[in-house]
Amino acid sequence: MTDFFNLLITRRADVVERLLEHISMTTMSVLISLFIGIPLGIIITKNKFLANIIIGIANLLQSIPCIALLAFSVPFVGIGEKPAILMVIIYALLPIIKNTYTGLKSIDSKTLESAYGIGLSSLEILFKIELPIAASFIMAGIRISAVAAVGTMTIAAFAGAGGLGWFINMGLIGLNINMVLLGAIPASILALLIDYILANLEAIITPEGLKPVEEINRLTKHQLFIKKIIICSISFMVFFIPLGINLNKYFEKDEKIIVVGTTNFTEAFTLGYIYSELIEKNTDIKVIKRFNLNGADFAFNALNSGKIDIFVEYTGTILANFLKKPIVSDPDIVYQTAYDGLLKNFDVFLSKPIGFNNTYVMSTTENTAKKYGLKNLSDLVNISNVLTLGCTSEFIQREDGLLGMEKKLGINFKTVKTLDATVRYQAVANDEVDVIDAFSTDALLKKLSLVPLKDDIEFFPPFYAVNLMKIDLFKKYPELKPLFSKLDGLINDEEMRTMNYMVDVEGKDSKDVAHEFLLKNNLIP
């Protein structure tokens, strides 16, 4: 645990920032769920048929995997906090609606008849009798929703929203359990704290006469008043202060803004920080970071829809995924085809290569390589039918990936397992799969002592890192073009591999590694 506490101390500022983001998004989600769920729960008590429909829909929505809900939300509300909040709202609705409905329907009909008998209106009965009696049921639903929302909100990191899920994702990428704990432990503590606060709120809003004998407070009116003030103050500090601090993110109006996006791996984060700090330190433009977007296609769609302004991608990916062009091995042809295609079809400008070539490299363990005599890609083709491949879902669908290997090389693995980008490294190291689709600059190749197979067939196209940006960006901010050109050809394979190693193995922050690079190359004052 010593390493964890050292990491916590080192990254305490980041932890506070991500925690505030997490609380803010969770509070916003639960509050909106309350404003929707409680009125719906009240309305459906009047109509059983409508109740079955509403609760059925809420049940159906909650059965959808949260990552799928997040993906469905992005086309409608964009990336960042908004899809994450929408996802959690949907997940939080069911307990609130159902508990409100159950609490109100459980009230003795004789109680309601008596209320009508003394001349109370429907509205008076609702607020003076029904809601107070059902308060414990409703609060139970709110507690369930709020606690679940804390955990579900960790998925928000995959839409560039930040929060504590950022640390969990970073830890998974670098196989760093302490980094995972840096996100998981605060999230767990936050969930327990929220449940405790809401339990106390439930206690003070539930009328004394409706509590079990053992739960009745033996406090004076003054003491009870002080207790209410304390609980409400704590609630305000925990829920609403973080919300207020981060509220500007939902209503950003500054005109001089650039949104920098990245995909979801270490190298992309480091390059994203390089571009972000390069802009901030050399211009008066504010940078908003939308890091950890879930894959190349996701980021490219965000660029085309105006949700991000720039992101780093690779020439081979542009050729195969974005332009649907045949695979070519000549790096100059690949770059020019990518440049012309993006400009013509998407009004996207492509920078010159940053320098390094992060191409695919099929990799295995030393034992597996020795057992089957694997040195080159051609060796793999010959014995693929007895091996298990672990790869990303993206690799399976790519013409420069498994799809193309099956068509052009006749490769036929015994089993193909779809794995997260980081999990596949752990899987091959544990001999759960035999071969993985690695990248040539990945630090985990060195960390896990994996054997990269030489592409003697020249199947994989070159994957030179380039920066994509809408052509209108240079029209709006002409100072960016000469600024970005300073990175042309500046980072070679070894330097990028070293930076990845510093993050994934040595445990440094991508932001710090990017800062050191910029200082070393005199790119920032």
Which domains can be identified in the chain, with CATH numbers?
Answer: 2-248 (1.10.3720.10), 257-357+463-520 (3.40.190.10), 361-452 (3.40.190.120)
Give the residue with greater pLDDT, 477 vs 8.
477
**Residue found by looking up tokens 């060796």 in the block:** 379
Least confident of 128-132, 151-155, 366-370: 128-132
Report the pLDDT value the prediction gives residue 344, as an integer from 0 to 100.
Answer: 92
Give the residue with greater pLDDT, 79 vs 382.
382
What is the torsion angle, in degrees rounded to the nearest 10, for the CA atoms of residue 164, residue 165, residue 167 and residue 168?
Answer: 130
Contact 295, 397 (CB under 8 A): no
Q: Mind listing the pLDDT tens digit for each residue in 419-440?
A: 877 788 889 999 999 999 998 8
Cβ atoms within 10 Å, residue 400: 22
Average of per-residue pLDDT across 194-220: 68
Q: Mean of the per-residue pLDDT values for the chain?
A: 85
Q: What is the largest CA-CA distance in the chain?
A: 90
In this prediction, residue 16 has a pLDDT band, given cuts at 50, 70 and 90, of confident
In this prediction, residue 464 has a pLDDT band, given cuts at 50, 70 and 90, of very high
Least confident of 34-43, 80-89, 277-286: 80-89
Report the pLDDT value the prediction gives residue 400, as an integer from 0 to 100.
Answer: 83
Helices within 153-309 (DSSP H only): 165-173, 177-205, 221-235, 241-246, 266-282, 296-304
Q: How far apart are CA 389 and CA 402, in angstroms?
A: 10
115 SS3 class? helix
Report the pLDDT value the prediction gives residue 46, as an integer from 0 to 100.
Answer: 85
Of 13-17, 241-245, 406-410, which has the strongest mean pLDDT?
406-410
Report the pLDDT value the prediction gives residue 253, as an integer from 0 to 100.
Answer: 55
Strands of the sheet containing 257-261, edge to edge, are 286-290, 257-261, 310-314, 465-470, 348-350
What is the torsion angle, in degrees rounded to the nearest 10, for the CA atoms of residue 62, residue 63, residue 68 and residue 71?
Answer: -30
**Residue found by looking up tokens 């925990």 in the block:** 238
Give the residue with greater pLDDT, 12 vs 485.
485
Q: How far apart are CA 288 and CA 106, in angstroms?
A: 49
Residue 251 has pLDDT above 80, yes or no: no
Q: How far apart are CA 339 and CA 336, in angstroms?
A: 5
**Residue found by looking up tokens 């790519």 in the block:** 398
Regarding beta strands 257-261 and 435-439, do their DSSP bridges make them parallel or antiparallel, or are they unpaired?
unpaired
Give the residue with greater pLDDT, 452 vs 209.
452
In this prediction, residue 447 has a pLDDT band, given cuts at 50, 70 and 90, of confident
Question: Residue 335: what residue type?
Answer: Y
Q: How far apart are CA 456 and CA 25, in angstroms?
A: 50
Least confident of 85-94, 140-149, 155-164, 234-243: 234-243
Give bridge partners of residue 388 from the DSSP assignment.
415
Least confident of 241-250, 272-281, 398-407, 508-517: 241-250
Task: Measure Cα distances from 48 to 45, 56, 190, 330 in Å.
Answer: 7, 12, 37, 67
Report the pLDDT value the prediction gives residue 521, as an integer from 0 to 100.
Answer: 94
Q: How far apart are CA 116 and CA 129, in angstroms?
A: 11
In this prediction, residue 131 has a pLDDT band, given cuts at 50, 70 and 90, of confident
Cβ atoms within 10 Å, residue 237: 11
Report the pLDDT value the prediction gives residue 377, as an integer from 0 to 100.
Answer: 94
Q: How far apart are CA 300 and CA 470, in angstroms?
A: 11
Residue 187 has pLDDT above 80, yes or no: yes
Q: Mind listing the pLDDT tens digit for each residue in 370-386?
A: 999 999 999 999 899 99
Residue 473 has pLDDT above 70, yes or no: yes
How is the chain split among helix, strand and coil, in percent rounded to 5?
A: 65, 10, 25
In this prediction, residue 281 has a pLDDT band, given cuts at 50, 70 and 90, of very high
Q: How far apart are CA 405 and CA 399, in angstroms?
A: 8
Average of per-residue pLDDT across 220-235: 71
Q: How far apart are CA 159 and CA 307, in angstroms?
A: 11
Report the pLDDT value the prediction gives residue 249, as an integer from 0 to 100.
Answer: 57
In this prediction, residue 9 has a pLDDT band, given cuts at 50, 70 and 90, of confident
**Residue found by looking up tokens 């059983």 in the block:** 48
480 SS3 class? helix
Q: Radius of gyration over alpha carbons of the chain, in Å?
A: 27
Report the pLDDT value the prediction gives residue 252, as an integer from 0 to 100.
Answer: 53
Report the pLDDT value the prediction gives residue 379, as an integer from 0 to 100.
Answer: 94
